[in-house]
Structure 1
Amino acid sequence: MKGFGTYENFKDRLYRKEAYLQWGHSENTLGVILLHNPGSVALKNKKLWTEINNGKVNIAFGELDILQNDPLIRVKDIIEYAFEEPDGRLYIYNLFNLVDSNRQTAYETYEKIMNETPTELLYPVLEKLIDSPWIWLAWTVSPPNKIYVKSYENLALQMIQELEATRNFNYIGWLKDETHPETGYSIYPYYPPAPYHNSPVCVEEYKKEIARQIRELTIRTQTKSK
């Protein structure tokens, strides 16, 4: 598996407009994962990475330098558990495209720039998601009472509702909060790449569950297309 991404420098801030994980040589879409915002994944080409960060080039495309502790490794493991021999691309989109490994500061910056940054640079392009067999809602592990998360959760839900108006769309995750009947606490409605409880048993069971849903939705989509 290799990862690739397209970055753009706009007013001395870095945005990742698109990224994908590649297995084999096929350009077919395996699915889409929708995450929070791009974190610390850099380009493997250090010279190009330095140039895009310093504004010497405005746009840069290249292979991603994905470290072993990056959440994308968990995504890789789940996809490879779902498919014996993956062959195609898992596209990675974000609620907004600003690169920042700290979610709190990312939101604070987002609030400052949201009205001065071109929409097509700040947000994912809706039309690119339409032909995917499924979309995995995976954008946060923050508690549901975090106010700063809510504003672009709403953006994501609006985007998905627009998708569903276009076609009957398959997604992994829920589109609304639910309350646990015994505790009264909110049940967080999305599936991040790793579970809240990070024990080996939890991680393994979590991987199996997400992989199961991916397989089922992929088979369902293939059956409908025949």
Structure 2
Amino acid sequence: MSHPQAYGTFARRGGHTFRTSAYIQWGDSKKSIGASLLLNPGSADFNHAHHPGLMETLHTSMQASGAIKPDPTMEQLILFLEAIYGGETPLTGRFHLYNLFNLQNAKSVHAVDQFEALVHSDVCGIRDSLIPIGELQSHPWLLIGWGVERRASWNNLELSKRGWLDLISQAGVPFFGKMHPKHNNYYHPCPRIPTRRPDMLNDLVAIYKEQFGS
């Protein structure tokens, strides 16, 4: 199976970088083969070997789009998609990645603290990452994995979760994820400790097959 290519759109605002959209592409079809809702964009950056000038464009024009080098989360999602669609030869379509907020920061706790501060300073809004209901309905399913970390001060993050859950409910799109046993949050699909990633992958494949069939 050919390795897919990831693409993203980035913007600069208030001295911070936001990844406003991203998807992983197999083949040439634009049809959605699924989507995920995670916490925030991680470390994925432009593929400088293919597009060496995109970072300069981002800092001069405040926006740039192009091929990006997959980060560990994207690589884990690629393994998940190829596991559940393994019978399709070749796999073709797009997998879209959404986030509760679009601020790029690979350290999740620090990222949420930054997001809370940026909302208070009006650099970004709670609903900035929400998408049109028609776009959400174009996906066959949504994998939720925004993480299970909680802090009493993360009020804006909770409001973002509510906004997304309301949108998902209105759209009627089926969703799944590995839920925390004690509260309504979902484990991230790519654990920080690499040795735990295969078990998480197996868990997600099993949850998907239980809900949608093999």
Bin for the TM-score computed over the shorter chain: 0.7 to 0.9
Which runs of 5 or more residues in structure 1 are unaligned? 179-185, 220-226
Question: Structure 2 CA distance, aligned partners of 1:121 and 1:200?
Answer: 31
Q: CA shift at 1:157, angstroms?
A: 3.2
Superposition pairs of residues 88-127 of structure 1, within 5 angstroms:
88-115=93-120, 116-119=122-125, 122-127=128-133
Check the 8 A contact 1:52/1:60 in 2, yes or no: yes
> Relative to 1, partners in 2 of residues 1:110 and 1:52: Cα closer, same or farther, differing over 3 Å?
farther
The reply to whether residue 131 of structure 1 matches residue 127 of structure 2 is: no
Question: Structure 1 CA distance, aligned partners of 2:104 and 2:191?
Answer: 23
> Relative to 1, partners in 2 of residues 1:210 and 1:3: Cα closer, same or farther, differing over 3 Å?
farther
Superposition pairs of residues 157-172 of structure 1, within 5 angstroms:
157-165=162-170, 167-172=171-176
Aligned residues: 203
Other-structure match for 1:21? 24
Question: Structure 2 CA distance, aligned partners of 1:121 and 1:35?
Answer: 15
Superposition pairs of residues 66-215 of structure 1, within 5 angstroms:
66-67=70-71, 70-84=72-86, 85=88, 86-115=91-120, 116-119=122-125, 122-127=128-133, 128-142=135-149, 145-147=150-152, 151-165=156-170, 167-173=171-177, 178=181, 186=182, 189-194=185-190, 198-199=195-196, 202-203=199-200, 205-212=202-209, 215=212
Check the 8 A contact 1:8/1:59 in 2, yes or no: yes
Counterpart residue type for residue 39 of structure 2:
H
Of structures 1 and 2, the larger Rg is shown by 1
Q: Percent identity?
A: 21
Question: Structure 2 CA distance, aligned partners of 1:79 and 1:14?
Answer: 28
Moved more, 22-31 or 117-126: 117-126
Counterpart residue type for residue 192 of structure 1:
H
> Relative to 1, partners in 2 of residues 1:73 and 1:90: Cα closer, same or farther, differing over 3 Å?
same
* 1:106-125: CA deviation from partner (whole Å, max 9, x where unpaired): 12221221141354994232
Counterpart residue type for residue 212 of structure 1:
K
Alignment TM-score, normalising by the size of structure 2: 0.79
* 1:60-92: CA deviation from partner (whole Å, max 9, x where unpaired): 11111124xx12111110100010232100100
Question: Structure 2 CA distance, aligned partners of 1:112 and 1:34?
Answer: 22
Which runs of 5 or more residues in structure 2 are unaligned? none
> In structure 1, the residue corresponding to 2:98 is in which secondary structure?
strand
Alignment TM-score, normalising by the size of structure 1: 0.75
